[in-house]
Amino acid sequence: MDLFSRKATCNSHGQDSSYFLGWEEYEKNPYDVIKNPHGIIQMGLAENQLCFDLLESWLAQNPDAACFKRDGQSIFRELALFQDYHGLSSFKNALANFMSENRGNRVSFDSNNLVLTAGATSANETLMFCLADPGDAFLLPTPYYPGFDRDLKWRTGVEIIPIQCSSTNGFRITKLALEEAYEQAKKLNLNVKGVLITNPSNPLGTTTTRTEFSILLDFISRNKYMHLVSDEIYSGTVFNSSEFISVMEILKNKQLENTDVFNRVHIVYSLSKDLGLPGFRVGAIYSNDKDVISAATKMSSFGLVSSQTQYLLSSLLSDKKFSKNYLRENQKRLKNRQRKLVSGLAAMGIRSLKSNAGLFCWVDMRHLLISKTFEAEKHLWKEIVYDVKLNISPGSSCHCEEPGWFRVCFANMSEDTLKLALKRLKKFVDDGNSKRRYHISESQRLKGSTKKTMTTVSNWVFRLSFHDREAEER
């Protein structure tokens, strides 16, 4: 007889993928400007370290929040005992308001429809437990966050079927791709319970367009038992607020608020990315379905947010002056940092998908592959980790169907470190170019065909202005 459960012994926790192996290499030899200047620079971690100064200064001005005090009075006992899975109402109210602000107050959130969880990791798993049974499936556009293989599937028994998106149209979800994914699930005898998107997308750094929303909502409208989960944990990282369209806004604009579709759309949120507080374990599920809220609330017992942390953050987020300023400043700094990465890459002939959000860029290194294969991608990735000493995430770990794309994070280091990373990469590319030019000129000589050199920057991908985006969305 087996000693452990199948869950414990199988590898469906997904943690053997290169996504995690890159981290391990980094852990062995981490870059430090003084102690280890030749170490590996971590560019595989989607953390937001750009605005801690704002948080620290707020804490310094508001010491009561972290010290269990309210209006100078100790509320330690109250917090020590507070384990109500409905959550601290002052925190939920503040969170609901913060979420609205993030969306330019174009939608409002009812704190009664919020369920607090220990991080979005917990929220996503809990939603799966609520919406699907073992053997059911959710459709996810690729490329997607590698952690979903663990979070959505492992203990829930739910399957993920990819909606294959391709670079030919900027990785946008198409009706065809969605239907193909659905057919694929049917062939595998899987009962599809819905679609899960990340908006803004990880790893792409792009916001979902109105066209894509139309396709998705049309799909779940036609299929009465399907849900749409929108993981909006990067909503505060959109460089320009007006460009972020929450699924709730779409439902409002399409006047779907009193239809059954309204109850089948759910949002996941977290403070790990927007506020840069992954250590505090703050996530939330938002739904208009009372049964989902009721079940998810009970399930949140398995991952409640520490009352100490709820109280601190309720004070922080209730400070409207702070939150307004924070959101604005955060967006500004992220935008600047993204530009530095993108222009730095462009200068060495590396393009990235045009992005308007997130803590990373989706970088096109297809031209650096020896061959158009995932083996070549892995080979290139290893060179970048071990030789260039940069940890970045290969597209295959994100289930990208085309080899050669990499997610490169930019918000988890100082500007100097980013400059150094770009310098190292440029050297690698230049060295590689000279080798490649030799090969190309050889093959040109042999075949007489022309090939673009690596140093050409294609205009369709890299643009700093966002006017074109607005045009394509209307």
Angle at the Cα of 47 from the Cα atoms of 43 and 48, rounded to 5 degrees: 115
CA distances (Å), origin 333, targets 36, 244, 326, 338, 466: 27, 17, 10, 9, 17
User: Of 148-156, 318-326, 413-421, 431-439, which segment contacts another protein by CB under 8 A?
Assistant: 148-156
Helix H or strand E segment including 28: helix 18-28
Q: Per the omega criterion (within 30 degrees of 0), is the bond before 403 cis?
A: no
Nearer to another protein, 5 or 450 (CB): 5
Give the x-and-dash track for 231-270 against another protein (CB under 8 A). ---------------------------------x------
**302 forms part of the interface with another protein (CB under 8 A):** yes
Tokens of residue 138, six digits: 């959710």
Q: Are 136 and 146 in contact (CB under 8 A)?
A: no
Q: Which residue has the tokens 């770009």?
A: 422
Contact call for residues 363 and 352 (beta carbons, < 8 A)? yes
Contact residue for another protein among 24, 36, 52, 183 (CB under 8 A): 52
Question: Does the active-site annotation cover 144?
Answer: no
Q: For residues 269 and 286, is the Cβ–Cβ distance under 8 A?
A: yes
The answer to whether residue 326 forms part of the interface with another protein (CB under 8 A) is no
Residue from 97, 102, 201, 309 in contact with another protein (CB under 8 A): 309
The strand pair at 191-198 and 227-231 is best described as parallel
Active-site annotation holds for 110: no
Q: Which of residues 18, 93, 97, 121 is near another protein by CB under 8 A? A: 121
Q: CB of 314: closest distance to another protein in angstroms?
A: 13
Residue 62 within binding range of another protein, rule CB under 8 A: no
24, 32, 110, 133: which one contacts another protein (CB under 8 A)?
Answer: 133
**Residue 35 in the binding site for another protein (CB under 8 A):** no
Comparing CA positions, the residue from 379, 425, 412 lying closest to residue 18 is 379
Stretch that binds another protein, among 47-55, 167-175, 376-384, 457-465 (CB under 8 A): 47-55
Q: Which of 92, 153, 193, 273 is catalytic?
A: 273
Q: Which residue matches tokens 């599809």?
A: 192
Q: Binding pattern to another protein, positions 153-192, x when CB under 8 A?
A: -xx-------------------------------------
Q: Is-catalytic flag, 136?
A: no
Per DSSP, the three-state class of 276 is: coil
Q: Which of 62, 308, 318, 455 binds another protein (CB under 8 A)?
A: 308
The dihedral built from the CA positions of residue 157, 144, 244 and 271, taken in this order, carries a sign that is positive
User: Which stretch in 30-38, 79-87, 319-327, 456-464 sits in contact with another protein by CB under 8 A?
Assistant: 79-87
223 touching another protein, by CB under 8 A? no
State both tokens at 54.
């704002």
**How far apart (Å, rounded) are the C-alpha atoms in residues 79 and 19?**
38
Name the nearest CA neighbour of 267 among 315, 197, 203, 325.
197
Catalytic, out of 136, 231, 274, 289: 231
Which residue among 46, 102, 125, 220 contacts another protein (CB under 8 A)? Answer: 125
Q: Which stretch binds another protein (CB under 8 A): 36-44, 103-111, 181-189, 304-312?
A: 304-312
Q: State the Cα–Cα distance between residues 317 and 365, nearest whole angstrom.
A: 40
The tokens of 279 are what?
A: 């250590």
Does residue number 83 form part of the binding site for another protein (CB under 8 A)?
Answer: yes
Hey, what's the torsion of the CAs at 112, 118, 119, 121, to 10 degrees?
-110
Would you say 119 and 306 are in contact if contact means Cβ atoms under 8 Å apart?
Answer: no
Q: Catalytic: 233?
A: yes
Q: List, by residue number, the catalytic residues.
A: 145, 231, 233, 273
List of residues contacting another protein (CB under 8 A): 1, 3-9, 13, 15, 47, 49, 52, 55-56, 59, 63, 66-68, 74, 76-77, 79-83, 118-119, 121-122, 125, 129-134, 136, 150-151, 154-155, 224-225, 264, 272, 276-281, 289, 291-292, 295, 298-299, 301-309, 312
